Chain A
Amino acid sequence: MNCEVCQLKELDVEYFEIREVLRCILHTIFFHRALGLVRPKDVDLTLFEITYVQCGDAELEKKVDDKIDQFIDRVEKHPNKKNQICLSFFEVKNKQATWFTHKVEHLYWEQWYINLNVAHHPKPHSGKSHHSKLVLDPGESASDEGNARRATLESSLHEVLFQIIKFVNEKKDHIPPIPNMEGVSFPYEITISSSSDSAFGMDMFKRMLQTGHPTMLS
């Protein structure tokens, strides 16, 4: 079992765009990995002219939103850093406990790295930052620069989605048998790290050891 890794193209986002962008990317990945019966649900982004597809699983939606909240909190605490979300799919293996791992081992077979570069914006925090996207400086949004940046981000996001589709299609052999026919069929975890984090590299290292293969950073 090898672990396939996909490093998604880095995106430069504004604060208020984080939620939409992350939702879009994460749900697109999940849609291609929830191989049980799904009723696809189309979601239009409000900030961009992009439509992505969700699995239609309410529980998953909630989990994703929670993680995004965590990410945004982290970004607020560590501004001006490269931030990364890692979505990993694993198999649960019962193994004998070793000094390195617990009894139940997570055998990662796929990892997605979503790299976001959040532009630091001095914004007043009003609770959850998902409201912040509505609080736009009108002067800024009207500027050509803002529009150009927005357009670039939209096309980059498009590229990321294409990247996901391409990866999902090309690498299929590593997918384990589907254990669960409903919803997201494989166990997964989402971890957040940022470049300033001392544990950033440690997380990567740990995962490398757990999977038993050197991660391929493409």
Chain B
Amino acid sequence: MELQYNNEHGRNDQIVSQFLLKTLHIVLESRVPSLRPPPSPPRSSSFVKKSDKWFNLALGDRPTAFTFAHRDPMIIDIILVQEMGQNQSGYGALVETVIERWAVQYEYSRASQSQSSESYKKTYKKSIILLRSLYSMMRLLPAYRAYRTKAKGKPCDFDITYKVSSFSVPFTRSEEQVMKLYTFFPVEAQHGHLSVSVKYRESLSDFNLETSATFPPEIITDYVGSPATDPFRAFPPVPQRPHSWTSGGPFTKNQSPPAYHSSSGRFDLSYSPSPSYDVYSQRTRQQSHHSFDDSPPFSPSPPMYLSSGGNYIQSRLRSETAPVSIPNPLFTRHLSPNLSDPNRHSLPPLSPRSTRYEPSSHESSPAIRSLKKSEMARVGDLSSASGSGSANHYSSSHKVSRDNKDDSGRFSGLLSSSGSPRIGFSRSSSRLSLQDELDDIDFSCPFIVDDVDTCDFPVSDVAFDSQSGAGGKQGKKSQDAAVGALVRMLRTAPPLRQDSSCCSDHVEAQSNASGLFMSRKTSDALEELKAYTGIKHLILSKSKDTL
């Protein structure tokens, strides 16, 4: 804070700025579970950070870093995100509702200038009290219970996010009717007064916020956009939404505004060309490794978001090499689509190079946990457990946007209410340089040289209808046709990494969608066989010659 505070005016400004920051801290730390700092070791009673001593209210580390002009109002929206109206395939629309809107402002008033203005000391004392009552109030408003439910960490069918800006879209009339207003008594300051007010929903019973029981994983075979329904479908690009964080002050590179998850009501999918087969492979891979029950199979959407999110969030990332766990790609669909370059990457890109896996992350994505170690070892052929790596940054990107705090992923439980939601989520606590990961993304991963064990597949539930079963037990004809289609896709696909050339060779020998993996493996094996046969012949011929 480059303020001269050796004068009344400077002090006043400093108090106002710190007041805004402290208010933001108080509001966010009692509403957004993902911003909770990880439990720290018991602090010594004597040590409190200097910055934390403001207003004599020690709260710990600030959840986010914000800079804003203290002349502008600060509007903090607390948003409840729920999935509503799930259709038969299990996907519903994400509905976001503002359950609280906090308005904090330093209101200038000309009138006060003529009077003897409050000394900054009095202002400071009074704002101490105001912040205390704000802190208490946070726990008395209805949204606190929602926060507590969410903060328990168990799967929930909702999530809480926030948005900070210096303006706000006014509520609709119907929304206004259910909202109550509470205004704190303003604190007089030098040239005006500090005011804090909140509009809040009186009752959250409409949302049926509950902790969901864990449920067994469910394989969705006919999810929207599955190859079963339309193998060649291309997904529409994600619409861009405007940024909405504060317009006032400068934002340093490290201050990515909170990701405003704008997937309002639509299951937006965004893919690069010919994603279907990637979906196949990713999905199949996921299916086969579903030993962890926390989340259902992924949906085809996420990669787009993530990749676009990566650039944006990267600046905020502490690029530690902490291993990341594979988030369920579904999770990523909640990322703000207004992040850069949505079309940059396509799919469940699993970088061959990233082998990071964080076994200690107990909240790691189900996807990664479901990857058996053997699978991962084999994955290493091409992607060297990059599934974990790249998948991780889905969650990590999201997490990073939340200031790299360890926590359960934002939508960790969003869609896992018992029975219906089919969408998985990630709970990764990874911190990762997204950019590096994204660079590694390519299409080689689907063709994991993996003996996707037939026993790993939930047999009848595989998405690919008649092509289910790992061993091509179905009618060969239909399978061959499907395989042919796949081959066509493969051939027209963007260039893959070095291994991709092998992929198409023996596809026709395989008989189902999972045959992509199978074909990879078989083609490889056949290649090797050929090579060995050649060598054998060579040796034999040579030996004959010598004989």
Which A positions have Cβ atoms within 8 angstroms of B?
A: 28, 31-32, 35-40, 42, 49-53, 158, 161-162, 164-166, 168-170, 172, 175, 178, 181
Contact = CB atoms under 8 A, between A and B. Distances in A.
A158 B144 CA distance: 13
A36 B56 contact: yes
Given A38-B57, A169-B129, A175-B129, 20 more contacts: A31-B132, A31-B135, A32-B129, A32-B136, A35-B125, A37-B53, A37-B58, A38-B58, A39-B43, A39-B48, A42-B139, A53-B136, A164-B136, A165-B133, A168-B129, A168-B133, A169-B133, A169-B185, A172-B126, A178-B125
18 contacts: A32-B132, A35-B129, A37-B57, A39-B48, A40-B59, A40-B135, A49-B145, A51-B139, A51-B144, A165-B133, A165-B137, A166-B185, A168-B129, A168-B133, A169-B185, A172-B126, A175-B129, A181-B56
Interface of B: 43, 48, 53, 56-59, 125-126, 128-130, 132-133, 135-137, 139-140, 144-145, 148, 184-185
Contacts of A39: 43, 48, 58
B104 to A, nearest CB: 15
Given A35-B129, A39-B58, A161-B140, A170 B135 contact: no
Nearest to B126: A172
Contacts of B56: 35-38, 181
Residue of B58, B129, B145 with most partner-chain A CB within 10 A: B129
Contacts of A28: 136
A138 to B, nearest CB: 26
Nearest to B58: A39
Residue of B43, B145, B184, B185 with most partner-chain A CB within 10 A: B185
B57 A40 contact: yes
A24 B53 CA distance: 25
A168 B126 CA distance: 10
Residue of A35, A36, A164 with most partner-chain B CB within 10 A: A35
Given A49-B145, A53-B136, A35 B128 contact: yes
Nearest to B134: A165
Given A35-B56, A37-B56, A39-B58, A172 B129 contact: yes
Contacts of B132: 31-32, 35, 168
B140 A50 contact: yes
Q: Which 9 A-B pairs have the closest CB atoms?
A: A169-B185, A51-B139, A165-B133, A37-B56, A39-B58, A32-B132, A172-B126, A170-B185, A53-B136
